[in-house]
Chains A and B, each alone.
Chain A
Amino acid sequence: MAVKKRDPFYLRLARGFNEYIRMFREGDLWTRLSYLIMGAGSLARGQIAKGLLFLGGEAAFIWFYAGFGWRYLKDFGTLGTNAQLRVWDEADEVFRRIPGDNSMLILLYSVLTLAAILPLVMLWKSNVRAAYKAQKLRESNKSLPGFLADAKTLLDNRFHMTLLSFPMITLALFTALPIVFMVLIAFTNFDKSHQPPGSLFGWVGLANMRNVVFSNPLYARSFGGILGWTFVWAVFATFSNYILGMILALMINKKGIKLKRMWRTIFVTTIAIPQFVSLMLVSKMFTDTGVVNVILQRLHIVSSPIPFLTDANWARFMVVMINIWVGIPYTMLMSTGILMNIPAELYESASIDGATPVQTFISITLPYMLFVTGPYLITTFVGNINNFNVIYLLTAGGPATLDYYQGGKTDLLVTWLYKLTVNEQNYSLASTIGIFIFVIVAALSLTVYNLTGSVKKEDQFS
């Protein structure tokens, strides 16, 4: 499939507008009425079911706006002005509250309400186009497709709509809208002294961004330091698992090694135990008084406990090592199959050339794997940048340090952000940092992802 050169976005938008103006000009009364009352065109031309669907959609939208959305949307500009009031009730000797505006719900449901415009626009467009098309077909005395025939295209030409509609709704509700909500919070003063419903919060513009970037040197220093370690961690965590998992798979797959199934099962057990259990267990094993230090001291290998998790360098080393313990089994399973697919001729020629196993690995296995699993590697890298579980359960970001604001030496940006939300209730600062993480990660991986060979050659496989 050749990649079409596409016009810039605004040009396409302008062309889209023109299209609807043209249809309005050429449209008869019913088509024009469809611009206002959805489904009018279809109903007038006998496509009753279709028309009712359009009309119902519009009615549902109006009902949603009048009954729910408007209540919140009207305060979107201020995020609420009426604070909660307190009234003394003499008879019962208690204070009663008169609920005020809830800034958080106003923000959240406004986002939802605004987003509801999107499906309306899509429905409206298809309503206008349907009306126009029906009019043209009538004018040229052709028969109109029935409702069933229309519906059938949903299983064929428009099958993607059928398949994607539900997942897209969940994507919007559970992922996209919450993200928009969190992004907007970065522009408010939602922190511990502005907690709804007791008190209101409002818009503060770019104040939080300024704080993180330069107004507050401690924030800036913490952000820089933690960002640096996050990348170091992501690189080490990703590649150590990748390469070691592959070597493990190679060893198990090697001809002549017996009990392959048993070996694999042993390594897979760590996947089966809930991660928070195994990580908590391991972190307890490596404390100063943990079983590892006890054994090392009994065997007189060390005289005083090794500060596995309390010394910054040790802790950073340990989280990478323990992450290997957790992660290798996945890579092993994945590489097992791929390795078997490597063309045997490649290896044969290498063995004739007298290459050592290490040389074969570096010059044949690794490049082949890298070529085939590029996208997987990027996803894993991103996953590691946001690897909340491993870090939080192992060290909770510790050892704590005075160098960072409320942070520790193994804190990733995500865990730091979590601490800021939970301990400090500083949602606005956390959201600001969230946006920074997001921009960095997204820019990086989108670029790499779209440059990777296997994505570009997506259609060449078959």
Chain B
Amino acid sequence: MTNAEIYKPAGRSASIKSRERAANAAIYTVLSVMSLFWLLPVLWLLVSSFRGEPGAYTEYIMPKQWTLSNYTRLFTDTALFSFPRWYMNTLFVAVCSCAITTFLTLMVAYTYSRLRFRWRRGLMNISLVLGMFPGFMSMIAIYHFMKAIGLDQSLAALIMVYSGGAALGYYVAKGFFDTIPKALDEAATIDGCTRNGIFWKIILPSSLPIVAYTALTAFIAPWLDFIFVSVIMKDNYANYTVSVGLFRMIERENIYQYYTRFCAGAVLVAIPITLLFVKMQKYYVEGVTGGAVKG
């Protein structure tokens, strides 16, 4: 582009406009194609959940029979797979671990962000390093600790384990707290506020996004994890969560009968989480933005 062009205001704005339009059109096309790629598997899941024919695989693309029974039977045919009970278990674990995790994460993040004490950097480095060890290696040990205190195969054990991760997952929240001006703390200290007071009166009120972000991630985790649950719960079907229950449905001996019901169950799990995400998107974005900036 030459200088001459820049000094032709009228022509330039016209060309900018048309270029702008072309660019937008291109973006719309790209977005639409990508949306297609993103939505197709989801659509496929939906279609499968309404398919009348059993089995994981058909030789044709569109089902020949449509049915709602995959959904209704999740709730009526509960002798073997007690989906409603698992759903309630998961909800219970999710609510409890969400409350505890949020609280613990914020506490840890606040400590590392605001308080200065001797072991601070050491503890942060240790936490960082410990988080890198492959997690499933420790599950056997955790199971036996739980057993020693009589909590094996219980929902309480799950809640404890999910919340226990809080000491490692503080990065985003700490990053967010780091962005809150320290001057606020100092002013409060001069007013005679304790550090406890600062946490509740200054930091928390200005951290709604990160609270929402932490709560949301903590709430979702129990819906998605299945490896840990199967180690903790073992043969105790009554205390399963939906994800491990769904996973059982697609084991070799069950997949033919249960595949379509598995899809229906997955849809039922996805709906509330999608709604939550849509509702809380704004906070999520603000939270993770503030947090990731300082990591």
- Do A and B contact each other directly (Cβ–Cβ < 8 Å)? yes
Q: Which residues of A contact B (CB under 8 A)?
A: 1, 104-105, 108-109, 112, 152, 155-157, 159-160, 162-164, 166-168, 170-171, 173-179, 181-182, 248, 251-252, 254, 256-257, 261, 263-278, 280-282, 284-285, 289, 291, 294-295, 325, 333-334, 336-338, 341, 352, 354, 357, 372-376, 378-379, 382, 386, 388, 414, 417-418, 421, 430-431, 434, 437-438, 441-442, 445-446, 449-450, 454-455, 458, 461-462
> How many A-B Cβ pairs are below 8 Å?
273
Residue of A nearest to B174 (CB): A458
CB contacts under 8 Å to A, within B1-53, are: 1, 6, 20, 23-24, 27-28, 30-31, 34-35, 37-39, 41-42, 44-45
Do B270 and A431 touch across chains, with their CB atoms under 8 A apart?
A: no
A87: min CB distance to chain B, Å: 27
Interfacial chain A residues near B223, Cβ < 8 Å? 274
Which of B123, B126, B137, B284 contacts A182, CB < 8 Å? Answer: B137
Interfacial chain A residues near B180, Cβ < 8 Å? 462
Interfacial chain A residues near B34, Cβ < 8 Å? 248, 267
A105 to B295, CA, bound (A): 39
Main secondary structure of the interface of A (DSSP, over half): helix
Interfacial chain B residues near A462, Cβ < 8 Å? 178-183
A252 to B164, CA, bound (A): 37
A182 to B196, CA, bound (A): 38
Name, among A178, A285, A461, the residue most crowded by chain B CB atoms within 10 Å (CB to CB): A178
- Asked if B160 CB lies within 8 Å of chain A CBs, one says yes
Do B108 and A379 touch across chains, with their CB atoms under 8 A apart?
A: no
A417: min CB distance to chain B, Å: 7
A175 to B167, CA, bound (A): 10
Interfacial chain A residues near B68, Cβ < 8 Å? none
A372 to B289, CA, bound (A): 10
Which of B104, B117, B288, B294 contacts A167, CB < 8 Å? Answer: B104
Interfacial chain B residues near A446, Cβ < 8 Å? 125, 128-129
Which of B247, B269, B293 contacts A338, CB < 8 Å? Answer: B293
Interface string of B152-192 (1 = CB under 8 A from A): 00000000110111111001000100111111000000000
Apart from A155-B195, A160-B117, 17 more pairs, CB < 8 Å? A112-B145, A163-B108, A175-B130, A176-B126, A178-B137, A178-B141, A251-B31, A269-B274, A273-B45, A276-B243, A277-B269, A281-B41, A334-B285, A334-B292, A338-B292, A375-B171, A414-B134
Do A266 and B27 touch across chains, with their CB atoms under 8 A apart?
A: no
Do B138 and A265 touch across chains, with their CB atoms under 8 A apart?
A: no
Residue of B nearest to A445 (CB): B132
A430 to B148, CA, bound (A): 25
Q: How many B residues face the partner with a CB closer than 8 A?
A: 100
Given the known inter-chain contacts A168-B167, A174-B161, please indicate yes or no for A417 contacting B108, CB distance below 8 A: no
A257 to B21, CA, bound (A): 10
Do A434 and B141 touch across chains, with their CB atoms under 8 A apart?
A: no
B51: min CB distance to chain A, Å: 13
Given the known inter-chain contacts A252-B31, A268-B278, A274-B270, please indicate yes or no for A171 contacting B250, CB distance below 8 A: no
Interfacial chain A residues near B61, Cβ < 8 Å? 291, 294-295
Name, among A167, A248, A275, A372, the residue most crowded by chain B CB atoms within 10 Å (CB to CB): A167
Given the known inter-chain contacts A179-B133, A280-B250, A461-B179, please indicate yes or no for A266 contacting B38, CB distance below 8 A: yes
A181 to B107, CA, bound (A): 28
A163 to B284, CA, bound (A): 25
Q: What are the nearest 7 A-B pairs in CB distance?
A: A375-B295, A337-B289, A178-B138, A170-B164, A178-B141, A167-B167, A155-B196
CB contacts under 8 Å to A, within B105-155, are: 107-108, 110-111, 115-117, 120, 123, 125-142, 144-145, 148
Sample (10) of A-B pairs whose CB atoms are under 8 Å apart: A108-B144, A163-B108, A167-B104, A182-B137, A254-B27, A257-B27, A271-B273, A281-B44, A382-B132, A418-B136
- Asked if B237 CB lies within 8 Å of chain A CBs, one says no
A414 to B41, CA, bound (A): 27
- Asked if B72 CB lies within 8 Å of chain A CBs, one says no
Given the known inter-chain contacts A155-B194, A281-B41, please indicate yes or no for A175 contacting B164, CB distance below 8 A: yes
Do A268 and B164 touch across chains, with their CB atoms under 8 A apart?
A: no
- Asked if B266 CB lies within 8 Å of chain A CBs, one says yes
Do A156 and B196 touch across chains, with their CB atoms under 8 A apart?
A: yes
Residue of B nearest to A290 (CB): B57
A155 to B207, CA, bound (A): 20
Interfacial chain B residues near A170, Cβ < 8 Å? 104, 160, 163-164, 166-167
Given the known inter-chain contacts A266-B39, A274-B269, A373-B292, please indicate yes or no for A291 contacting B44, CB distance below 8 A: yes
Do B273 and A272 touch across chains, with their CB atoms under 8 A apart?
A: yes
Do A176 and B56 touch across chains, with their CB atoms under 8 A apart?
A: no
- Asked if B224 CB lies within 8 Å of chain A CBs, one says yes
CB contacts under 8 Å to A, within B237-272, are: 243, 246-247, 250, 262, 266, 269-270
Interfacial chain B residues near A264, Cβ < 8 Å? 281
Given the known inter-chain contacts A269-B270, A337-B286, please indicate yes or no for A388 contacting B28, CB distance below 8 A: no
Do A272 and B270 touch across chains, with their CB atoms under 8 A apart?
A: yes
A277 to B31, CA, bound (A): 24
B139: min CB distance to chain A, Å: 8
Do A386 and B132 touch across chains, with their CB atoms under 8 A apart?
A: yes
Do B108 and A438 touch across chains, with their CB atoms under 8 A apart?
A: no
- Asked if B277 CB lies within 8 Å of chain A CBs, one says yes
Which of B115, B126, B135, B166 contacts A160, CB < 8 Å? Answer: B115
B218: min CB distance to chain A, Å: 14
Do B141 and A336 touch across chains, with their CB atoms under 8 A apart?
A: no
Given the known inter-chain contacts A1-B116, A163-B107, A289-B57, please indicate yes or no for A442 contacting B196, CB distance below 8 A: no
Do A257 and B24 touch across chains, with their CB atoms under 8 A apart?
A: yes
Interface string of B94-108 (1 = CB under 8 A from A): 000000000010011
Do A179 and B108 touch across chains, with their CB atoms under 8 A apart?
A: no
Given the known inter-chain contacts A280-B250, A333-B285, please indicate yes or no for A164 contacting B108, CB distance below 8 A: yes
A372 to B133, CA, bound (A): 26
Interfacial chain B residues near A278, Cβ < 8 Å? 41-42, 45
A397: min CB distance to chain B, Å: 14
Do A159 and B196 touch across chains, with their CB atoms under 8 A apart?
A: yes
A182 to B136, CA, bound (A): 11
Do B277 and A182 touch across chains, with their CB atoms under 8 A apart?
A: no
Do B166 and A167 touch across chains, with their CB atoms under 8 A apart?
A: yes
Which of A109, A267, A336, A461 contacts B148, CB < 8 Å? Answer: A109
A171 to B250, CA, bound (A): 34
- Asked if B92 CB lies within 8 Å of chain A CBs, one says no
